[in-house]
Amino acid sequence: MAAPRPPPPGALGGGVGGSGGVAPAAGAPAGVSMRMFHGEVYLGEMEVFPMKQGGEGGLPFPSNEIRVSHLSPASERCPPLAILQTIAPFSVRCKLHTKLTPPNPSLQRLYLTCFNEFKSAVVVVGDEELHLVAMPTKSGKMPCFWCCSARSGLYAASVGMLNLRCLAIVFDLDETLIVANTMKSFEDRIEMLSRRMDVEDDPIRITGMSAEIKRYIEDKELLKEFIDTDTVTDNGKIVGTQKEEVQPMSGGQERVLRPVIRLPDRNAILTRINPENRDTSVFVKLRPAWEELRSYLTAKGRKRFEVYVCTMAERDYALEMWRLLDPEGNLISPQQLSERVNCVKSGSRKSLQNVFRDRGCHPKMAMVIDDRLNVWDDKDQHRVHVVPAYTPYYAPQAEMANAVPVLCVARNVACNVRGGFFREFDENLLRKVFELYYENGLLDLPYAPDVGDYLVCEDTNFVPGNKDQAPIPEGMRGNEVEKRLNGQSYRWEQREGQQMSFSTRSPDDEGMPIRGTGGVRTIQPNGGSLAITPSVYVTVLQEIGQLCDSKVEFRSTVSNGKSMLFSVEVLFSNEKIGIGIGKTRDEAQVQAAEKALQNLESSYLSSVSLVAGVPKKESRKPPGSGNGFLEDAPCSDNDISMREPSGSTLKLDDSNSMDKLSSIMSLIREHCLEDQHVVFRDQVQNSSPARNEEYHFQVELAGLILGRGVGSDREAAKLLAAEEALKTLKSTTDPQIKKYLRPVRCNG
C-alpha cells in the first residue's frame, strides 16, 4: 500500500515563516552558499550539500550559481524522483534548501509548482540536465530540493512513456520478421543445395534438400515473372502490381512510386527497392503471426510499446522491408523513420545505446526481438528475447508446428515483460518514493525495474557437429543486401568455414532443434515435427489463455537466502494457479506452468463432474486447502474478523454465478486505470468443524483490500467479494484507492 504523499513545506503548522531550517545530519558534508535564478529572476540564496562525504566529484553547478532554464513536462501519475530513479538510478548529486526565512516568494511559488504538478526545475549544464526535485521535509518549514542528473532530453521522453505505461521494443528484420531474396541469391542457394545433394548419401537428407530446392525454384519463377512483366501468375490467376508511394530513397528529394505485388495467401510480397532498376526486385516472405504481434503493440488505439528497428542491412532495403511490415505507419510514423530505423555495419555489434541515440528511451526500458544473441553488446543481451530463425524454405511447417506461433510467443513475452516492469514500478518504486523526505539519504532510494529482470534470455547459437555440413542461410543478411542490390557477385562459399549461428541450421539424423520461449521442438528437414520437451507447458498455457480470453501472467522473484533460488507464480485471469521454484528463472517458469496446467485440468474435470451430476470425491475441501488451485498462507485473525454475516454465506448455481461474476469484474475493471491489476486472494482459514464447507476470498487492487466474501463454494465466495469490491469503488473517498481509478467525468 502506497504511503500518503507528505505535505509540502507551508502546508503544516507554522507555515513557511519562522526561524530555523533543515538541520543537517550529524557528520554530513558542509554546505556551500549559492545564488539561485529562474531565467533572469533572482530567487534567493541556497545552501547546497553534496550527497557524498567530502563533496567527492564536486558540486555540479558552474560558476557557483544555480540557473533554472525551464520546468520539465508535468507528469500525470509519476513523481519526478521516480522517473529519474528509473532512467538514471542513484544519480542524486546534491541537496539544496533556502537560507532565507521566510523564503523569497518567487522561490516558494517555484517549489509549490514543482511539488504539486509533478515537475522538476531543470538546470542545463552542457550535455547534461540537472533536475531539481521538490522534496517534502520533516520540519515542513522551507523549500528544499534534491538535484539529480540525467542525459539531456531523456527525462522529457521518459515522462510520457511511464505515464502511458509504455516501453520500447526493438526488432531485427532478416530471419526474425522476414526472409528476402533477389534472383542472384535464389540462384546461389539453389546451386549450393544442388552441390550438396551430389555428395550426400543419406536418402532422408536428399529428400529434404530436393523439397527445399523446389520451394526456392517456385518463388524464383514468381520473382522472374515480376521482373520481366510486373505481374505474377499465382494459382492460375494473373496478379498485377500496385504503385505504392513511399518516402524518398537516401539522398533523394522526390517521393517514389514503388511497384508492389502482395500475395497474402503465400504470406509474401514482391517489391522493387529502386523502381528504376529491375535487378533490385526482391521476393519477401513475412513471418506468420506478425499481424497478431503488430495488433497487440497498438491495441485500443494506444501504444503499449514504442517501436524501433536495428538491422545490419543496407538502409534503403531496411526502410522498404519495414514499410512492408508496417504499411500504414502505425508502429513508426513516417516522420520518425529516419530516427527509429538503425542500420549497423556488418560485423559490428548492435547496441541499445546506439538505437536510442536520439535519447527517446533508456535501454533498461527496452526489450529486443532478434534471432541472434551474440550480435548484441554484452550489456544488452539480458534484454534480448531470442526467437528461432525464420526458415520458410528449409522447414516451412516449423512455424505452425508449435502450439503457439513464434511471434505469438514473442507477443506473450512482451506482455509479461511489460506487466512485470510496471507492477514493480507501481507497487515498489512509486510507493517507496512517496515515503521519502528531504532528510533521507541516497541508500534509501528504492530499486528501479529493468526489462531484463522479466525476460528469460536464451542463446540459441551453436556450432554444428563434425558430421554435419552447415546449410545455407535462407535470406540476405548484412552487407550481402548491398552487394545483391548493386549487382555485385557474392559467393556463399566464403562463409562455409565460419562458425554458423543458429540462424544457419544444422540438420542431423534426428532433425533440427528449434529453441525459443515455450520449449524445444525437433523439426525434420522436410518440415515435419517430432518431439516436444516439457518446457512447451509455457506456450500451451499461454494458448489456453488466448482461447479462454483470459490473461496469463508470470511473476518472478529471487529468494533472499543464500540459495538464490528463483520463484515464479502463474496468474490466470488474476488468480494464482501455479508456482515453481528453480535455480534459473526459466526452470522455475516451466515448473510453474506445468503445475498450472495440472491444476487447470483438475478444476476442469471437477466442474465437468458437477455439471454431469456425478459427485467427485473431495470436491469440497476444508479451509486450509487453498483456492482449489494452490495453497496460500493462512490469513490473520483480523481477516477472519472481517467475515460477512451468516446470511452472506451462500452457494450459487455454477453457470449463473460465473456469468454474474464476469459482469461484476468487467464493471470493476471499467472503474480502474488500465494496467491496474485486480486480484483475487484466497484467504485460507483455520480449520474448525463449523467452517468445513466455507471458502474465503478477498479482492485486492495494488495491495489494497476492496472486498471480502465467504461462500460454500469458491465461485460464491468470489462473487460476494467482487460485489463488495464494486460497492467500495463506487463510494470510496480513500485517496489511496482513488489514485488507481479512472477520473470521474462530469456531464455538461
Q: What is the pLDDT of residue 495?
A: 37
* Statement: residue 247 has pLDDT above 80: no
Give exposure, 228-243, as e/b (b: 16+ Cβ within 10 Å): eeeebeeeeeebebee
Residues in the chain: 748
First-to-last C-alpha distance (Å) of the chain: 35
What is 68-116 written as a DSSP string? E-EEPPP-SS--HHHHHHHHSTT-EEEEEEESSSSPPHHHHHHHHHHHH
The residue that leads in pLDDT, 714 or 315, is 315
C-alpha cell, 653 = 448455481
Give the HSE-up count for residue 596: Cα atoms under 13 Å, Cβ half-sphere. 31
Q: What is the pLDDT of residue 30?
A: 67
359 and 378 Cβ atoms separated by less than 8 Å: no
Q: Which of 239-243, 377-381, 570-574 has the lowest mean pLDDT?
A: 570-574
- Is the whole-model pTM more than 0.85? no
- Most confident residue range from 56-60, 237-241, 507-511: 237-241
- Specify burial of residue 471 (Cβ count, 10 A radius: 0-12, 13-18, 19+): buried
Q: What is the pLDDT of residue 355?
A: 95
Q: What is the pLDDT of residue 413?
A: 94
Share of the chain above pLDDT 90, in %: 45
* Statement: residue 49 has pLDDT above 80: yes
Q: What is the pLDDT of residue 173?
A: 96
Q: What is the pLDDT of residues 281-330, one digit of tens each?
A: 999 999 999 999 999 998 777 789 999 999 999 999 999 999 999 999 99
Peptide bond into 102 cis (omega under 30): yes
- Specify burial of residue 735 (Cβ count, 10 A radius: 0-12, 13-18, 19+): exposed
Domains of the chain: residue spans and CATH: 32-52+61-164 (2.40.290), 178-286 (no CATH), 289-456 (3.40.50.1000), 538-604 (3.30.160.20), 672-739 (3.30.160.20)
Q: What is the pLDDT of residues 368-391, one digit of tens each?
A: 999 999 999 999 999 999 999 999
User: Grid cell 491496474 — which residue?
Assistant: 676
Distance CA 440, CA 643 (A): 40
Q: What is the pLDDT of residues 457-499, one digit of tens each?
A: 444 443 333 334 445 566 666 656 655 565 543 333 333 333 3
Q: What is the pLDDT of residue 310?
A: 96
Q: Amino acid letter at 388?
A: P
Q: What is the pLDDT of residues 334-351, one digit of tens each?
A: 888 889 999 999 889 999
Distance CA 396, CA 714 (A): 46
307 and 332 Cβ atoms separated by less than 8 Å: yes
Distance CA 154, CA 676 (A): 26
User: Grid cell 521566510 — which residue?
Assistant: 102
Distance CA 77, CA 166 (A): 13
What is 597-617 written as a DSSP string? HHHHHHHHHHHHHHHTT---T
Distance CA 66, CA 124 (A): 10
211 — pLDDT class (breaks 50, 70, 90): very high
Q: What is the pLDDT of residues 254-268, one digit of tens each?
A: 778 999 999 999 999
What is 318-337 written as a DSSP string? HHHHHHHHSTT-SSS-GGGH
Q: Amino acid letter at 549?
A: D
State how far Cα 450 lies from the chain centre: 10
